[in-house]
Amino acid sequence: MNFFEHQARAKRNSGRLVLLLGLAVISLVTLTSLTLMLLLQLFGEVPAYSAESRIGLDWSLIGIIATVVIAVVLLGSLYKSSQLSKGGKAVAERLGGRLINLAPQSPEERRVLNVVEEMAIASGTPVPPVYLLDDPGINAFAAGLTPQDAVIGITRGAIFLLSRDELQGVIAHEFSHIFHGDMRLNTRLVAVLHGILLLGLIGGELLDSSTNRSLRLSSSSDRNKSAGVFIAIGCALWVLGYAGTFFGNLIKAAVSRQREFLADAAAVQFTRNDQSIAGALKKIGGYAGGSQLQASHAAEFSHMYFGPGISLALGSLMATHPPLEERIRRVEPRWDGSFPQVVLPAEAYGKAQVSANWDAAISGLSAAPSYSPQAAEHAIAHIGEPQAAHLNAARNSLQRLAEPLTAAAHRSLDAQALVYGLLLSREEPQLSKQLELLRPRLNPDISQALQQLRGELSRLDADLRLPLLELAIPALKQLDRQQFTELKNNLVLLAQADQVVSLMEWSLFRILERSVQGPRPIDGQYRLSEMGAESAVLLSALAHAGHDDAKVAAQALAKACAALPFEPLTLAARSPELKSLDAALKRLSRLLPLQKPRLLKAMAICIAHDGRINAAEAELMRAVADTLDCPMPPLLSD
């Protein structure tokens, strides 16, 4: 099953889950309304028989109660959704995580950061912020609504007890959750369950306050009766709210267990090393701390973790993860059943020692590669399912980046200078004009950093532009809204300095904007056959970008059209306006998941018409795929 099939299945599963939870809420509302109605009748607050009913129920009052209950559940869910709308950052901070992208404090923190960066570049997704949880247990999680606002969280126990290969397995497992839509599903579960739980919390508060109030009242029978009504209502809400939460958690656990098997299998496929994920799981089994988390809100996000984060009273019934032994045997059938004994070293909580060396040594620059048409087809075939070869390509890209550029990408101020530098021309007088426009608008520190980095940036190979930008994304996410708006305005100024915005300039700008601000989750609803005009705009832009001769560009478009389900498209006289391209891509991003592969194949045919794909075309292809929410891994050179 490929990425697009997983996306389609995730969409179907989301629909089924919504249906199940909807039925659970309807049942809860019905039971609550009837219970409260009967309690009010029992205490004589409403007549047992009304003019509207022959069966002793006041249906108008039941309707009012049902409306109030639905409003409570809905408002509780919306409140939690609003909290989580900030993306994975909200989850990481609620669990007490500390961002380490900008200031890793130990070699172990640098190592896990390097692993995450390799994985992100290999899979074609933005480098996520990485949060460290000060927990001795071995655990990790991915959280967020989209790949652009995802974060990775990992415990101190994991970074000190797991080897680099085992860390790769754990991080690959979490990236699988990002690829396959699990994060969005998990976030919806948290929100709905919070709404149901709110009924129980309100009931508990009402029960406590009414009990205390009844103890303070005089012996007046009316007052005691009133207190009794509230105690009964509070007790009913408490029981029903927590019963609803119980059954909601059963649904959550059942969904989560199946997704864990899928993520384990994807991790083995990504790393091509079954011992990476199996080794991490074995260490959890042999470690006294297991995968338990001590964070106060750990139970709220129990279905998001790599391993069980909390102890459960009902065992397998409420377990959000399959049994450890079963997960290990799925990836290592011949496992002998033994667990290694591991102990957290004392230095794990000692003073952090800052290391000047990254996990991967920086090697000399090599020439930018070129690619065959088959390389693009291979990359499309592995969207959302990168292979070990893509991981090696990502590691090679990181090694080719000069150390000053890598270091600058991890500092918010210098990261801004990097982005400006990526859009600077290498030709005079265009370069002088850009600098003349930019300098008066820059913070002096950013201007100085840009001056120091210009030399390295001018020697940067074209295929390293996108990896460098991706490395800088976590640092750029720390900018406030005003700072990021200023950055975008300055980038537009640079791109328009020559009165023409190139497709690559536009692509880098859109990737930056989407990765930092994060797109709203969009459900696919269109078929490719309905998108002829939008496809013509996109493919015309690619044909003109990859072929200077209009006749050759028209031939490239005609060849690409053969892979599409409509009549041959007409090539635009020149590259379409970027405003039109924006609108086209916005519509195309709403294609149904299984409709996107044909469009991507047509894009690859278009840019490969001349028989070779250069580095700039390869990165352009990946940039456009990113705007279509298709995380394409790097193309592999011959």
pLDDT at 269: 80
Q: Is residue 502 scored above 60 in pLDDT?
A: yes
Q: Is residue 364 scored above 50 in pLDDT?
A: no
Last residue of a domain, one of 319, 334, 349: 334
299 or 232, which is more confident: 299
The first and second tokens of residue 156, run together, are: 């101190």
Residue 153's DSSP bridge partners are 131, 141
pLDDT at 356: 33
Instruction: Report the C-alpha gap between 444 and 439 in whole angstroms.
Output: 8
Among 60, 82, 66, CA closest to 28 = 66
Instruction: Report the C-alpha gap between 34 and 27 in whole angstroms.
Output: 11
β-strand pairing of 130-133 with 98-99: antiparallel
pLDDT band at 260 (very low <50, low <70, confident <90, very high): confident
What count of other Cβ atoms lies within 10 Å of the Cβ of residue 595?
20
Window from 145-149, 235-239, 265-269, 378-382 with minimum mean pLDDT: 235-239
The answer to whether 179 and 384 have CB atoms below 8 angstroms apart is yes
Which residues have CB under 8 Å from 96's CB, separation 6+? Answer: 133, 134, 295, 296
What count of other Cβ atoms lies within 10 Å of the Cβ of residue 587?
17
The answer to whether 324 and 368 have CB atoms below 8 angstroms apart is no
Q: Is residue 24 scored above 90 in pLDDT?
A: no
502 lies in the same domain as 551:
no
477 lies in the same domain as 439:
yes
Does residue 155 sit in helix, strand or coil?
A: strand
Among 410, 403, 398, 468, CA closest to 103 = 410
Please give the C-alpha separations between residue 477 and each of 133, 151, 188, 257, 518, in angstroms, as whole numbers. Answer: 20, 11, 24, 32, 10
| Structural domain span for residue 578 | 528-627
Last residue of a domain, one of 289, 309, 334: 334
What count of other Cβ atoms lies within 10 Å of the Cβ of residue 113?
24
Helical ranges in 180-271 per DSSP H = 182-216, 221-271
Task: Tell me, yes or no, whether 102 lies in a domain.
Answer: yes
* Triad 609, 611, 614: Cα angle to 5°: 95
Window from 94-98, 349-353, 542-546, 549-553 with minimum mean pLDDT: 349-353
The answer to whether 532 and 566 have CB atoms below 8 angstroms apart is yes
27 lies in the same domain as 170:
yes
Instruction: Report the C-alpha gap between 515 and 627 in whole angstroms.
Output: 10
β-strand pairing of 130-133 with 151-155: parallel
Task: Tell me, yes or no, whether 385 lies in a domain.
Answer: no
Please give the C-alpha separations between residue 421 and each of 408, 415, 416, 490, 614, in angstroms, as whole numbers. Answer: 12, 10, 9, 12, 21
Among 252, 268, 265, CA closest to 304 = 252
503 lies in the same domain as 542:
no
The answer to whether 270 and 392 have CB atoms below 8 angstroms apart is no
| Mean pLDDT for the stretch of residues 529-556 | 87
Q: Tell me, what DSSP letter sits at residue 608?
A: T
Window from 175-184, 362-371, 596-605 with minimum mean pLDDT: 362-371
Q: Tell me, what DSSP letter sits at residue 133?
A: E
325 lies in the same domain as 260:
yes
- Percentage of the chain beyond pLDDT 90 is 23
pLDDT at 421: 93
117 lies in the same domain as 210:
yes
Residue 152's DSSP bridge partners are 130, 142
167 lies in the same domain as 41:
yes
Does residue 154 sit in helix, strand or coil?
A: strand
Instruction: Report the C-alpha gap between 154 and 142 in whole angstroms.
Output: 9
Task: Tell me, yes or no, whether 388 lies in a domain.
Answer: no
pLDDT at 611: 84
Last residue of a domain, one of 465, 491, 517: 517
Instruction: Report the C-alpha gap between 588 and 586 in whole angstroms.
Output: 6
pLDDT at 442: 92
Which residues have CB under 8 Å from 612's CB, separation 6+? Answer: 370, 371, 372, 373
Active site residues: 174
The first and second tokens of residue 599, run together, are: 């469009």
The first and second tokens of residue 239, run together, are: 């029981």
pLDDT at 523: 65
Please give the C-alpha separations between residue 462 and each of 237, 490, 619, 626, in angstroms, as whole numbers. Answer: 62, 22, 8, 18
The first and second tokens of residue 445, run together, are: 């520190």
537 lies in the same domain as 513:
no
Task: Tell me, yes or no, whether 376 lies in a domain.
Answer: no
Instruction: Report the C-alpha gap between 357 and 364 in whole angstroms.
Output: 16
pLDDT band at 585 (very low <50, low <70, confident <90, very high): confident
Tell me the pLDDT tens digit for each residue of 116-145: 999 999 988 889 999 999 899 999 999 887
Tell me how many domains the chain contains.
3
Instruction: Identify the helix (H) or strand (E) that includes residue 130.
Output: strand 130-133
Does residue 99 sit in helix, strand or coil?
A: strand
The answer to whether 37 and 57 have CB atoms below 8 angstroms apart is yes
Task: Tell me, yes or no, whether 374 lies in a domain.
Answer: no
325 lies in the same domain as 437:
no
468 lies in the same domain as 605:
no
Task: Tell me, yes or no, whether 125 lies in a domain.
Answer: yes
Tell me the pLDDT tens digit for each residue of 468-497: 999 999 999 999 999 999 999 999 888 888
pLDDT band at 378 (very low <50, low <70, confident <90, very high): confident
Task: Tell me, yes or no, whether 379 lies in a domain.
Answer: no
Task: Tell me, yes or no, whether 600 lies in a domain.
Answer: yes
Among 62, 39, 37, 49, CA closest to 228 = 39
Please give the C-alpha separations between residue 580 and each of 269, 489, 526, 572, in angstroms, as whole numbers. Answer: 39, 20, 19, 12
165 lies in the same domain as 219:
yes
601 lies in the same domain as 467:
no
Instruction: Report the C-alpha gap between 572 and 553 in whole angstroms.
Output: 10
Over 300-331, what HEC string results? HHHHHECCCCCCCCCHHHCCCCCCHHHHHHHH
- Percentage of the chain beyond pLDDT 70 is 78
Instruction: Report the C-alpha gap between 339 and 342 in whole angstroms.
Output: 9
